[in-house]
Amino acid sequence: MKRSHRKAKLANILYLQDIQDNRRIKSPPIRLLEKFCGGNAKHLIFVTTHWDQVEFARGEAREAQFRSFVRSLLRAGARTDRFDKTTESARRIVQSLVVPY
């Protein structure tokens, strides 16, 4: 049986950023993400993780630094969220992925 070659549409991208190690806070592959998003980044979510392993104020500073790296994508509709190992944060992130028909 021959497979049909249909164009696939990217539904959502979750980019996970570890907030605990300052040495790892660096710019993600912005150009690649911009290419995937095609100028509309509303389906891109930057999720910061490991909030339980960092002092909250320090994590917020690192998150602000990360947000400055991805500013152009945030302006194009991307958003950020925090996963803090709670069911509530996991549900919130998953619910934001659900796109109505």
Asked if the model's pLDDT at residue 100 lies above 80, the reply is no
Here the tokens at position 80 are 């950020």
Mean pLDDT of 61-81: 93
CA angle 43, 82, 60 (to 5 degrees): 120
**How many domains does the chain fold into?**
1
Answer yes or no: is 7 within a domain. no
CB atoms within 10 A of CB 1: 3
Q: Does residue 39 sit within a domain? A: yes
- Summarised one tens digit per residue, pLDDT across range 6-59 is 555 557 889 999 998 766 666 778 888 888 888 889 989 999 999 999 999 999
Asked whether the predicted pLDDT for residue 70 surpasses 60, the reply is yes
Q: Domain of residue 88: give its range.
A: 13-97
Q: Is residue 2 part of a domain?
A: no
